[in-house]
Amino acid sequence: MVVTGWGAVTPLGNDVESSFAAMREGRSGVRRVTRFDPTGLFCDIAGEVDDSAFWPLDEHGKQGGSAYRLARRAFEEATAGQLLAGIEDRFRIATIFGGHGHQPNEHEMAQLVACLDDDGRARADAVAALDDYQLSVFTRRQPDVVAALLAQEADARGPVAAIVSACAAGTQAIGEGLRLIRDGRADVVITGGAEPTLSYSGYLGFSILGALTRRYPAPEKASRPFDRRRNGFVIAEGAGVLILESLAHAKARGRTPLGEVLGYGDSADAYLITAMHPKGEGAIQAMRRAIDDAGLLPEHVDYVNAHGTSTPINDPTETMAAKAVFGERAYQVPMSSNKSMIGHTIGAAGALEAICTLRGMQEGVLLPTINQEAPDRKCDLDYVPNEAREMAHEVALSNSFGFGGQNGCLCLGSTP
């Protein structure tokens, strides 16, 4: 199964090439939030996308809100060159997309709060009197609206679904897309993820949960996966879109593969919704299943694109999981985190990291984990510290472990 198109919107660029080039240089896209005034919050930084050059959405597109705005931009890049043109049977094009839709902004929350009495009970008369709860407010909060609108945009009439497994959503969407093609239920799949995390309630929510970093000398120093001074993740917005199809299908229509999706594995931690299993059992299972699904063995894996969130628990647990999967060879398998540079894009992360992994294979480059300054004895693998590394590699894993306990792992391969 190959990737024939990709598109990315990240805090470091609004396409794959500019984002990849910036990450190759080890730059950070994290800065103080400008989308709203974060003064007073535990955390005031994020990975913001510069959307000033985005085309405005038409009335139809506005039904998808901020999530669709990001996804649409990545989709345009992924399908450039009329990538989906010439496919006669549009019923064989599926759309499987990760993300959680638009979260309420200040206005919407204030509006809804106005419908409550002082005891927190709903005043239905106030709800009933709302005169601007319009169709677009309804639709853009639906997690499936991005998938539905992308399918309409692409005239893709096959199966459509939205996957909502937090940080694992993008990876699971690609994995489910892979399975759709293997099952013969689609020839082409539009997949990926988009997350507009910088709506006020989304950002506030993660801040209140205590998941975000609280101590950082400078915004660009805040995301430091595997470093001893890490203390939480940096939230970010973004979108990644990939076009999947079988190699035979791509060749038959003269499309050039960009890379290969070899296998997919997923699992549930069944431990705590707020923390990984302390022994990384779910992560181990997802990684092993992805390798097995690809028909490979752990010794075939050259590189791991880590989930690498920069939280105190995730990074050593993921390290432990890698050791369980690779044994002593774990020390020879480089494992780096894109989140050190672009932050955590939640439902888009798996898609963006899959793209970065495949692009790195094309270039023979491993992207770095920046901000590696204070070694952590529990994180003692090769994280490609601070600088990109030239290294030809052909097989990689890309990990995503969701808040809530869902885990996904993709096994990716260089261009066949």
Partner 1 sequence: MTRPVGIAAYASRCALGNDDQQIDQALADGESAIGPLRGFDASAFGDTVAAQIWTEEDVDEDDPAIRILGPHGRILEHVVRRAYAAADLDQLPAERVGLYVGMGMVDAAVEDLVPAVAASRDADGELDLAKFFKGAYRLIHPLWPLSMLNNVAVGQIATDLDIRGDNLVLASDAVCGVRAILEAARAVREGIVDAAIAAGVSERVCPASLARRRVGVEGVQPMGEGGAALVLTNAVDGVALRLLGGATAHGPRDQRFASERAGEIALHQAGRSEARRLTDARTGVGDLGPGQAAFALARAAHDLAAGEVGLLTMDYDGSGMGPGAGALVVERPA
60 flagged as catalytic: no
Binding marks (x or -) toward partner 1, 388..407, rule CB under 8 A?
Answer: --------------xxxxxx
**In sequence order, what are the beta bridge partners of 94?**
189
Task: Give the list of residues 6+ apart from residue 164 with CB closer than 8 angstroms, or none.
Answer: 98, 99, 100, 143, 347
**Alpha-carbon gap, residue 46 to 168, rounded angstroms:** 20
Determine which one of 167, 356, 379, 411 is catalytic: 167
Q: Which is nearer to partner 1, 18 or 134 (CB)?
A: 134
Binding marks (x or -) toward partner 1, 29..58, rule CB under 8 A?
Answer: -------xxxxxx-----------------
Q: Which stretch binds partner 1 (CB under 8 A): 4-12, 72-80, 278-286, 311-319?
A: 278-286
Q: Which stretch binds partner 1 (CB under 8 A): 23-31, 250-258, 280-288, 378-386?
A: 280-288
Determine which one of 100, 307, 393, 411 is catalytic: 307
Residues 66-95 that bind partner 1 (CB under 8 A): 90-91
Size of the site for partner 1 (CB under 8 A): 87
HSE value, Cβ hemisphere, 13 Å, CA-based, for 386: 7
**Alpha-carbon gap, residue 245 to 190, rounded angstroms:** 9
Least Å from the CB of residue 213 to partner 1: 16
Q: Which is nearer to partner 1, 164 or 366 (CB)?
A: 164
Q: Does 160 bind partner 1 (CB under 8 A)?
A: yes
Q: Does 133 bind partner 1 (CB under 8 A)?
A: yes
- Among positions 176, 195, 227, 302, the unique one binding partner 1 when judged by CB under 8 A: 176
Cβ neighbours, 10 Å, residue 408: 33
282: tokens are: 């779910």
Q: Does 296 bind partner 1 (CB under 8 A)?
A: no
Q: Does 232 bind partner 1 (CB under 8 A)?
A: no
Q: Does 161 bind partner 1 (CB under 8 A)?
A: yes
What are the CA-CA distances from residue 147 to residues 15, 261, 301, 327 (Å)? 20, 21, 32, 40
**In sequence order, what are the beta bridge partners of 98?**
163, 193
Q: Does 135 bind partner 1 (CB under 8 A)?
A: yes
Task: Give the list of residues 6+ apart from residue 63 with CB closer than 8 angstroms, or none.
Answer: 135, 136, 139, 140, 145, 149
Q: Which is nearer to partner 1, 57 or 268 (CB)?
A: 268
Q: Which is nearer to partner 1, 91 or 331 (CB)?
A: 91
344 flagged as catalytic: yes
- Among positions 35, 100, 224, 307, the unique one binding partner 1 when judged by CB under 8 A: 100
Least Å from the CB of residue 352 to partner 1: 19
100 flagged as catalytic: no
Cβ neighbours, 10 Å, residue 106: 12
Determine which one of 100, 249, 277, 344 is catalytic: 344
Neighbour-count burial for 339-369, b at 16+ CB within 10 Å, e otherwise: bbbbbbbbbbbbbbbbbbbbbbbeeebbbbb
Asked if 225 and 309 count as a contact pair (C-beta separation under 8 A), the reply is yes
Residues 188-207 that bind partner 1 (CB under 8 A): 201-202, 204-206
CA angle 142, 238, 81 (to 5 degrees): 95
Which residues are catalytically annotated?
Answer: 167, 307, 344
